[in-house]
Amino acid sequence: MDISKDIRVNEGIRTREVRLIDDEGKQLGVVPIVEALKLAKERDYDLVEVSPTSAPPVCRIMDFGKYKYQMSKKHTARKTVDVKEVKVRPQIGDHDLELKIRNIRRFLDDGDKAKVLMYFRGREIVRPEIGMKVFERIQAQLPGKFSVEQQPKLEGNHITMVIAPSSK
């Protein structure tokens, strides 16, 4: 995203007068554009239009290169969502399942997704419905503020399910 295309700077500002804010954040009031440009040039800064929709437009005296850099950093500093894995077994005990659900809830509260994996060993694959019952118990014990992104699905010798935090 190129910020310099969206923001008007110096001679690109096409109004007769602007509400001016100086480089220290003080409001200087409504001044003619010629005077605002002269003030910015005297201080070796740029005149940047920060609010083009207001009447008159609000302009600020600042270093545009530094402003562009800060805005690009802010744009790329988005939170990444991790996918945390939790492994369960078809014959899992009640207490062990409660512990796994507590971990899933902690991951979701932190804003991460939780991928629940169940591997079948040996002849356990003959009864995949036992595994599906475990996934039903997990879904029943999680409150409604989480959404199941991928329903439990049997793929080869394992079942996977992805749970995501609900968007706020």
99-152: pLDDT as tens digits: 999 999 999 888 889 999 999 998 988 999 999 999 999 988 887 778 888 999
Band of residue 1 on the pLDDT scale cut at 50, 70, 90:
very low
Which pLDDT belongs to residue 151? 92
User: pTM for the full model?
Assistant: 0.53
Domains, the chain, with CATH or none? 3-76 (3.10.20.80), 83-165 (3.30.110.10)
Buried b (16+ CB within 10 A) or exposed e, 82-100: eebebebbbebeeeebeeb
- Count of H helices and E strands in the chain? 4, 8
